[in-house]
Copies of this chain bind each other. A is one copy, B any other.
């Protein structure tokens, strides 16, 4: 359709049709480049509907795009319309009685957090890209991040959704209902569907009270089993006050120490950084944590005595990512296993990798409280220049061990383009057939983000 520009100008303003720029076309990891026929950035929900009606009629593929921070190539367009939602970005309502906020898809995550804070509440989703990722994308890929242990994933934070279906129909269920059981739950189908079922245009999200008191500890431990025991004890005692429970290997700490003011809070094979928060002020929270650690025999530990010490401990955790760059190109994994299986996975996967790739370096750290690990692997020098050639071979070994431990190959980044051939390893043929039937019912011409998620 050569006159696509003119056809869209019949119902869009010129400002809603964008020039191609690297920021719009290149994906976050610089692994993919979108090649759309046209880039649209509608300024109203009605125009999103008009675009979808037109594309439905003319069988034009549509790839929705938010902040373009996805890590699995789910928002990369091959032809058709690249539909950028960034201008659908009003904060529609904050409702304190229902502890909820209604925002449009293009609102940047950080702006949702700020709006909640200004209303004296917390919106807890927090991740590295929060300054540029958009809430529609967070919902479409069921984002996780730092606060899942206490507050859940994006899925757990959505009370209601507004969606434009592939045929242009608007389906809106934004009311903050805390109890509602009226037929099959379609909200959860759209959450995590990575733009393949329709365009999420707005959502009603849960808010929480803001934390008032924080207590932070660093604990050195002999092995992961001890870390899991500590986690179980902390959850039994402090319950939802436990907000973070991060695991760091000796090697990951050594790398990070080079970049950090604080070098080695404890000398141990494994380290845990744990944090309690309380939404009711509690001046004794530090003491309670110290007493608990003492009672549990965790004497190889320190408790942050000031906000500066707390930040220094977190800097050690946060610097791991940057500090590992000197090791070369990383082959990363977005994986999770039941917490009870983390030790088994770590113990068994490393030797298998070392056998196949002698000299491989493994930087292992992550959110033990969610069973989700960063498991970054660096091939020895001789192979490192062409690391991506070996990506599938490394993935295969890691995923085999993940699946043996009843884990998942996609914890919080989604499936997108790069993992769709792996979907049959975690879903049965009948489940994938059901996904296809759902897709076919909503999107009979396969125009919604075709080629993503489903193998």
Contacts and interface: CB of A to CB of B under 8 A. Distances in A.
A235 interface: yes
A205 B453 CA distance: 27
Nearest to A231: B97
Contacts of A279: 237-240
Contacts of A186: 431, 434-435
Contacts of A192: 181, 183-185
A412 to B, nearest CB: 5
A189 interface: yes
B438 A338 contact: no
A61 interface: no
Given A182-B423, A431-B171, A434-B438, A177 B408 contact: yes
Q: Which of A181, A183, A237, A367 has the most CB of B within 10 A?
A: A181
A208 interface: yes
Contacts of A38: none
Contact of A441 (B142, B178, B188, B434): B434
Given A171-B428, A288-B280, A437-B437, A179 B209 contact: no
Contacts of A437: 437-438, 440-441
B235 A165 contact: no
A236 interface: yes
A172 to B, nearest CB: 9
Contacts of A183: 192, 415, 423, 427, 431-432, 435, 453-454
Contact of A97 (B142, B339, B412, B430): B339
Q: Which of A120, A187, A367, A411 has the most CB of B within 10 A?
A: A411
A237 B280 contact: yes
**Interface residue range, chain A:** 35 or more
Interface string A362-384: 00000101111000000000000
Contact of A189 (B142, B177, B185, B239): B185
Contact of A178 (B95, B236, B371, B423): B371
A317 to B, nearest CB: 18
A299 to B, nearest CB: 22
A454 B184 CA distance: 9
Nearest to A185: B188
A262 interface: no
Contacts of A440: 437
Q: Which of A97, A337, A431 has the most CB of B within 10 A?
A: A97
B408 A95 contact: no
A177 B407 contact: yes
A76 interface: no
A365 to B, nearest CB: 15
Contacts of A454: 183
A423 to B, nearest CB: 6
Given A186-B434, A371-B98, A431-B171, A209 B181 contact: no
23 contacts: A97-B231, A144-B181, A149-B178, A153-B179, A156-B156, A165-B430, A176-B339, A177-B338, A179-B371, A179-B372, A181-B410, A181-B415, A182-B415, A184-B193, A184-B434, A187-B188, A208-B239, A209-B239, A209-B240, A240-B240, A241-B280, A437-B441, A438-B438
